[in-house]
Structure 1
Amino acid sequence: VPTTNPTSTAIFKSLISLKTRNAIIFSPHPRAKEATNKAADIVLQAAIAAGAPKDLIGWIDQPSVELSNALMHHPDINLIL
């Protein structure tokens, strides 16, 4: 998630994922992690209130290049937005 528009990107990608019945994990830019993770949590709480699973939207609390690479190359990851 870029630093230039972290909240709108997190909300938009969360909604796209929910609409297509997919989970999503955010790996925000370190300088935008608080805004990105808060936006993702707002969407997550609304989804849970509507009956969605509690682990449908996730994020990396302390993002790093190493964690992002591990996430992108994990065999269970099928799509990167």
Structure 2
Amino acid sequence: MADNSNVSPHRALLGRNVKALRTMRGLGQESLAMQLGMSRAYLSSIERGEKAATIDTIARLAEGLDVTIARLLEEVPTDEKGKRKGKN
């Protein structure tokens, strides 16, 4: 297992949001990556906060997930189990 202690909080936030939105839409990593023209491994590394995505990649992710760039970068409150509160 990788040591995530050096993961930027901004990359971690983006990764959590991408993964949450992808799974809420019932998409697997492979299908979203193919839709966006990127490798599944690259998408996975973004979701884990290991890779820093460019603004162009963030824009592609937002378009593919049908959300704004701002939505991918916003902190969404969670309950004590880590589940998102409020609207998705």
Relative to total residues, which structure has the larger strand share, 1 or 2? 1
TM range (shorter): under 0.3
* TM-score for the superposition, normalised by structure 1: 0.27
